[in-house]
């Protein structure tokens, strides 16, 4: 049997309705409330992630400055950013990142009580108020077989596209200061995103194997943006 044949050996015998109720939603008797879910993501995305990414980014800064002897180059670039008031540009991009994070918390909060599992991003119904289809099941993404693999592969692309504008902006702004270090960090991002997409194609449950390293890499670049923002606005005091 060829590799391609083996790859699809089990996709057609998956249970399409495993873990779903008769409407197609996650079969949960007591899903998390929207408030509880939002609280969980607020703690994660506004407390834990910023604290970790800032600490790691400061470590990366000192690694470049002290170990790789880049302190003088960094200082000259921070002076330029400060003198030309470009710290506000860095701050503006960080503000946009915070805005998007609020929207992520909002959406993830609504997902739990709706009982909509990933990779679904929307729920559709037949708008038949009094007809034979008024109680029909919701329309959800195909989750099994070759079509399910395609849907999840597409979500791997779209999930990356959703974060790419801010990642690109962060890369350009921090790359100006930190140069090759940012390219090294991007290798982590690239590995994570590619692994995420390929694992997602196999199953939604396995996508975290790539999602975690991509978030670490993107988080480091986001942390470097915070360092640049603070140094740019308050140089030479800080």
- Mind listing the pLDDT tens digit for each residue in 207-234? 999 999 999 999 999 999 999 999 999 9
Rounded Cα distance between 138 and 229, Å, is: 46
For 72, what's the count of Cα atoms within 13 Å in the CB-facing half-sphere? 1
Q: What pLDDT does residue 1 have?
A: 44
pLDDT score recorded for residue 7: 59
Percent of the chain with pLDDT over 70: 94
Quickly tell me which residue has 């790539």 as its tokens. 210
Using CA atoms in the order 156, 162, 165, 167, what is the torsion angle rounded to 10 degrees? -60
Q: What is the largest CA-CA distance in the chain?
A: 74
* 98-154 tens-digit pLDDT: 999 999 999 999 999 999 999 999 999 999 989 999 899 999 999 889 999 999 999
The residue to which tokens 């702004």 are assigned? 173
Q: 10 Å Cβ neighbour count for 53?
A: 21
pLDDT at 9: 55
Across 93-101, average pLDDT: 97
* Mutual angle of helices 34-43 and 87-114, in 10-degree steps: 150
> Cα separation of 238 and 236, whole Å?
5
> What secondary structure letter does DSSP report for 27?
-
Residue 208: its H or E element: helix 208-234
pLDDT tens digits along 172-207: 999 999 999 999 999 999 999 999 999 999 999 899
Whether 2 has a pLDDT exceeding 60, the answer reads no
The secondary structure of residue 204, as a DSSP letter, is: G
DSSP assignment of 33-96: PHHHHHHHHHHIIIIIHHHHHHHHHHHHHHIIIIIS--HHHHHHHHHHHHHTTTHHHHHHHHHH
Q: Is-contact 189 217, C-beta < 8 A?
A: yes
Angle (nearest 5°) at CA 36 between 113 and 193: 80
- Asked if residue 3 has pLDDT above 60, the reply is no
What confidence tier does 18 reach under pLDDT thresholds 50, 70, 90? confident
Q: Nearest-CA neighbor of 193 among 216, 170, 220?
A: 216
User: Which residues are paired to 20 by β-bridges?
Assistant: 26
Judged against a pLDDT cut of 50, whether residue 162 lies above it is answered with yes
Q: Residue ranges per domain, the chain?
A: 17-234
- Rounded to the nearest 10 degrees, the angle between the axes of helix 208-234 and helix 87-114 is 150
The pTM is what? 0.88
């Amino acid at each position: 049997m060829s590799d391609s044949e083996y790859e699809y050996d089990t996709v057609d015998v998956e249970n399409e309705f495993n873990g779903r109720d008769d409407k197609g939603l996650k079969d949960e008797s007591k899903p998390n409330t929207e408030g509880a879910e939002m609280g969980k993501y607020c703690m994660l995305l506004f407390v834990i992630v910023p604290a970790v990414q800032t600490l790691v980014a400061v470590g990366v800064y000192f690694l470049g400055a002290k170990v790789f002897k880049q302190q003088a180059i960094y200082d000259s670039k921070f002076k330029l950013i400060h003198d030309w008031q470009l710290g506000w540009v860095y701050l503006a991009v960080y503000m946009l990142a915070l805005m998007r994070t609020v929207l992520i918390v909002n959406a993830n909060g609504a997902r739990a009580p709706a009982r909509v599992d990933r990779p679904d991003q929307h729920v559709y119904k037949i708008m038949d108020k009094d007809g034979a289809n008024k109680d029909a099941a919701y329309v959800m993404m195909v989750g099994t077989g070759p079509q399910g693999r395609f849907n999840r592969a597409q979500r791997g692309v779209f999930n990356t596209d959703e974060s790419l504008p801010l990642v690109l902006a962060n890369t350009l702004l921090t790359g100006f200061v930190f140069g090759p270090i940012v390219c090294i960090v991007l290798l982590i991002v690239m590995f994570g995103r590619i692994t995420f997409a390929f694992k997602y194609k196999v199953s939604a449950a396995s996508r975290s194997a790539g999602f975690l390293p991509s978030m670490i890499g993107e988080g480091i670049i986001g942390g470097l943006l915070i360092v640049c923002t603070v140094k740019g606005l308050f140089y030479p005091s800080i």
